[in-house]
Structure 1
C-alpha cells in the first residue's frame, strides 16, 4: 500500500547511487547477492539476540535491495536479474521470522509458523497474479520498473520492512506483532484473489 509513495521518495537518490555503481562496473546481480548475504547476517544476529546489529544489517540489506534495480536501470535490465531479485527477497523474508523462532522457540515458534504460512499464501497470490498479468499484457510502473507485474495490496515491501524494524526494536512483542501482521497478509492474499477473479477470465 505504501510502496508507490515510498518509490517516489527513494527512487531519485537510489538512481543516482545506481549510476555511480554502474560507472564502477558493479553488476546488479552482485548487489542482489550482497544484499541477500547481509540480510542473512541480520537474521543470524537475531538468532544470537544482537537486535541492534540485526536492525543495522536489515536496513543495509534493504538498501542493497533497492540499489540492484537502480544499477540495472543504469546498465541493462535482464529477466534473470529480476528473477534473482524476487528469489532473494523471498529467501530473506522467510529467514527473518525463522531467526526469531530459533532465538526463542518457546515464545516465538508458533507465531513464526503462522507468519511464514501467511507469507507463503501472500507470495503465492502475488506470483500467480503476476503470471496472469504478464499473460494478458498488463503493465504497471507505480512501484518502479519491475520485471514482474507488482499487484497492489494492504501489505507490500515497505510495510514488511517497517514490520521487521519493529521486531528488532521490540523483540519481546514478536508473537503479538506477528499474529497481527499475519492476519493482514492473509487478508491481502484474499483480496488479491478476489481481484484476480474479477479481472481475469474464469
Structure 2
C-alpha cells in the first residue's frame, strides 16, 4: 500500500549508492546474495532468541534488496538478476515467520502457519498476474522499476518489512501481529484477485 509513496523518497539515495557500488565493480547479483545471506542469518538469530541481532540483519537484508536493483540500473538489468531477486525475497519472507515458530512453537506455531498461508495466497495472486501481464505486454513502474509486473495491494514490501522489524523488537507480540497481518494479507490477496480478474477479462 505504501510502496508507491516510499519509492520516490528512497530511490534517489539508493541510486547514488548503487552507482557507487557499480563503479567499484560490485555486481547486482552479488548484492542480492549478500542480502539473502543476511536474511538467513536473521532467521537463525531469531530462532535462537537473539531478536535484536535479527532486527539488525533484517534491516540490512532489506537495504541490500533495494541496492541490488540500483546497481542493476547503473550497470545492466538481467533476467537472472530479476529471477534471483524475487525468488530469494519470497524465501526470506517465509523463513522469518518460521524462525519465530521454531523459537517458541507453543505460542507461535499456529499464528506463523496462518501468516505463511496468507503470504502464499498473496504471493500466488501477485506472481500469477505477473505471468499473464507479461503475455499481454502490460507494464507499470508505480513501485519502481521491477523485473516483472508489480500488482499493488494492501500488504506490500513496506508493510511486511515494518512487520518483521516490529516482531523482532516485540517478540512476545508475535502471535497478535501475525494474526492481524495475516488478515490484512488475505484481504490484499482477495483484492489482487479481483483486480486481476477485471484486468484480464478485458
Q: TM-score with structure 2 length normalisation?
A: 0.98
Secondary structure of residue in 1 paired with 2:35 = helix
Q: Tell me, in whole angstroms, the C-alpha distance in 2 between the residues paired with 1:174 and 1:99.
A: 11
Q: Residue 171 of structure 1 aligns with which residue?
A: 171
Aligned-partner Cα distance in 1 for 2:27–2:199: 37
* RMSD of Structure 2 on Structure 1 (CA): 0.9
Following superposition, the deviation at residue 132 of structure 1 comes to 1.2
Matched, 1:82 2:82: yes
Aligned match of 2:93:
93
In 2, Cα distance between the equivalents of 1:5 and 1:193? Answer: 22
Instruction: Give how far 1:201 is off.
Output: 2.6
- Runs (5+) with no aligned partner, structure 1: none
Q: How far apart are the structure 2 equivalents of 1:201 and 1:80?
A: 31
Q: Distance in 1 between matches of 2:168 and 2:122?
A: 23
TM-superposed CA distance for 1:5, in Å, is: 1.1
Q: Which residue of 2 aligns with 1:109?
A: 109
CA distance in 1, matches of 2:17, 2:131: 31
For residues 28-55 of structure 1, the C-alpha deviation after alignment (integer angstroms, 9 at most, x for no partner) is 0010010000011011110111111111
Residues 1-202 of structure 1: pairs in structure 2 closer than 5 A: 1-201=1-201
CA displacement, residues 112-137 of structure 1 (integer Å, 9 cap, x when unaligned)? 11110111111000001111111111
Residues in 2 aligned to 1:201 and 1:92: alpha-carbon distance in whole angstroms: 33
1:130-183 deviations in whole A, cap 9, x for unaligned?
Answer: 111111111111111111000110010000000001101110011111011001
- Which portions of structure 1, spanning 4 or more consecutive aligned residues, are displaced by more than 2 angstroms? none
State the aligned residue count.
202
TM-score (norm 1): 0.98
Name the SS of the counterpart of 1:19 in structure 2.
helix
